[in-house]
Structure 1
Amino acid sequence: MSGTVRPSHHWGRRLAAALLPCLLAACGTAEPARQARPAMWLVADDDTKIYMLGAMHALPRGTDWKGGKVAEAVGTADELVMELSPAELAKAGAVFQALAPRTAPLAMEKRLPPQALAGYRALEASGGDFGGDTLDDWAVMVLMGQRVAQNAELDSSDGVETRLTERFKDARKPIGGLETAREQLMLFETLDPKTQRTLLTRSAQKSGDAAKDVGALTAAWGRGDVAALEKVINEDVDAVPAARKAIITDRNRRWSAWVQKRLEQPGTVLMAVGAGHLVGADGVPAMLEADGLKVTRVQ
């Protein structure tokens, strides 16, 4: 792939998964969890139910996660809400192309220490030049994640949001989003240069372990093991506090406020967001509980 990104589902959902320098880990190789039962929570009042499903934006083929309580939530929900609506996802490639270029080229040899540079070059050699010299650090990281996904023959068309979108479109039910494509990309574009460089360096250093990391991540997700999910995610993001605040905590706070506002309207909603947003002390369920709402783990 060249240093630009075509508007497509592939990169948009991959970036949505970039909660962590584990962007690469979210795209590695893993055995399908044939009967995956991902964690899901419910917050409700007298006339409103909001199911919160932890999603994986890309999954190995054959992973069956649509049974259990998820099937019930999908069947009863009046609407689907994801990080990006289908309309915003369609804009994402063009937004990336506008934001990703640097004002002046900078060679990767001047950005990365030897070990990280070796990992970057090995990944680049597996499928062609990234054009990274002309791109911001965060954008290079996104393209690296894409390459790992391509090499592992993973595709976001097998991810949770893609399948849910198909179901809700077929049922003629509305599909909304919590963010715009530009808002989501600006989370990365506006990270300070030191944080961007740290994220890129860690991703390049860890690129050789992507398959192992995603194996742990996908297995924990499939078991609904929130403690293991939190551990896998936190091992990376806790090392980059500025990224954690911008990409996880602050967004979770906004999404928690959205849930509380949505409870004022009757109906049933299925909210599907990256699984990392729903675990830990700064996950959306924990934030809602801290505000006095009853949150029930239903799967």
Structure 2
Amino acid sequence: MLLTACGTAEPGPEARPAMWMVADADTKIYILGTMHAVPRGTDWDAGRVTSAIEAADELMMELSPAELAAAGETFRQLAQRDAPLAIEARLSGKALTGFRALEASGRSFGEDGLDDWAVMVLMGQRVAQNAGLSSADGVETGLTEKFEAAGKPIGGFETAREQLMLFETLDLQTQRILLTRAAEEAGDAVKEVGALTAAWGRGDVAALETVINEDIDSVPAARKAILTDRNRRWSAWVKRRMERPGTVLMAVGAGHLVGADGVPAMVEAEGLTVMRVQ
């Protein structure tokens, strides 16, 4: 979910991510599934996305630009352990081997002084880098540039602290399970991220749902905190926002938009009509 990596002018792949629309007589909300980091130079903003960007009066993302800028410092504040704990005391066997191999692909994670969830986040960033993904080319970065250039307002559903506290407040057993799974699967992670990115680029929501479910279904506490509860809050926001006129582009991680507890399904369950428009 937290993928970061820098851009290039080289032409990149074409992506047509899934997008939905909720509309009534005087209000339209486009709901676009994003990837926070994508292959460098990816062309993701053509097709119906261009029309949605031009039509929208405002942009809503998981984090506003100011909160995104604050995320690094907030991470450093929350990630620290009260007392150091060696990774060998947390992982063993295949998990420890996978962790060490991933760490060897770049600088040390400094994991002894970090909470389990924070180590997992840094591992995810390293996988993204190794997969050639770029946050500078990510959807949120591009949308921010376009809306700021047009002088249109940009809002966020959460603060950086609220978002990271979703991990910080997970019980220690759940954090350890997530870290162990990430380490055990580190050897295949670049390939899996590539498959996830390709499915996003095709707008293949069935494939996305399969990948998301395989990744998190075995950890119910994490699914509830990181996906389901947030989707419910965002769906409630859509319903309230439909009471005011205007056109909004809502852009959140594609994993939040698939399946029975994805935002489109939850909005539809509230009695609103949701149309897939890309």
Question: TM-score w.r.t. structure 2 length?
Answer: 0.95
1:7-156 matched pairs, under 5 angstroms: 17-18=1-2, 34-156=13-135
**Regions of 4+ moved over 6 Å:** none
- The answer to whether the 8 Å contact 1:39/1:54 transfers is yes
Report the 3-state secondary structure (helix = DSSP H, G, I; strand = E; otherwise coil) of the residue aligned with 2:133: coil
1:280 has 2:266 as partner: no
Offset, 1:170: 0.6
- Rounded to whole Å, the distance in 2 between the matches of 1:154 and 1:222 is 13
- Rounded to whole Å, the distance in 2 between the matches of 1:150 and 1:259 is 34
- Rounded to whole Å, the distance in 1 between the matches of 2:180 and 2:65 is 32
- Rounded to whole Å, the distance in 1 between the matches of 2:240 and 2:164 is 25
Offset, 1:196: 0.3
Report the more deviating stretch, 243-252 or 262-271.
Answer: 262-271
**Corresponding residue to 2:239 among 243, 260, 271:** 260
Report the 3-state secondary structure (helix = DSSP H, G, I; strand = E; otherwise coil) of the residue aligned with 2:185: helix
Offset, 1:153: 3.5
Query: What whole-Å deviation, never above 9, does each CA across 1:5-41 have from its counterpart, x for those lacking one?
Result: xxxxxxxxxxxx25xxxx7xx98xxxx9733111000
Offset, 1:199: 0.5
Report the 3-state secondary structure (helix = DSSP H, G, I; strand = E; otherwise coil) of the residue aligned with 2:201: helix
- Rounded to whole Å, the distance in 2 between the matches of 1:35 and 1:205 is 32
- Rounded to whole Å, the distance in 2 between the matches of 1:62 and 1:150 is 15
Partner AA of 2:222 in structure 1: A
Offset, 1:151: 2.9
Which residue is 1:168 aligned to?
147
- Rounded to whole Å, the distance in 1 between the matches of 2:208 and 2:107 is 33
Query: What whole-Å deviation, never above 9, does each CA across 1:218-245 have from its counterpart, x for those lacking one?
Result: 1111111111110011111101111000
Query: What whole-Å deviation, never above 9, does each CA across 1:83-126 have from its counterpart, x for those lacking one?
Result: 00001111111111111001111110010121101111111112
Report the more deviating stretch, 57-66 or 73-82.
Answer: 57-66
1:237 has 2:216 as partner: yes
- Percent same amino acid at aligned positions? 75
Query: What whole-Å deviation, never above 9, does each CA across 1:54-102 have from its counterpart, x for those lacking one?
Result: 0011100132111111010001000111000001111111111111001
1:194 has 2:173 as partner: yes
Which residue is 2:193 aligned to?
214
Question: TM-score w.r.t. structure 1 length?
Answer: 0.88
Partner AA of 1:176 in structure 2: G
Query: What whole-Å deviation, never above 9, does each CA across 1:158-200 have from its counterpart, x for those lacking one?
Result: 1111001000011110010000001000000000001000110
Structure 1: state its 5+ residue gaps: 1-16
- Rounded to whole Å, the distance in 2 between the matches of 1:129 and 1:215 is 24
Query: What whole-Å deviation, never above 9, does each CA across 1:224-278 have from its counterpart, x for those lacking one?
Result: 1111110011111101111000000000000001111111111100000000000
Structure 2: state its 5+ residue gaps: 6-10
Offset, 1:215: 1.9
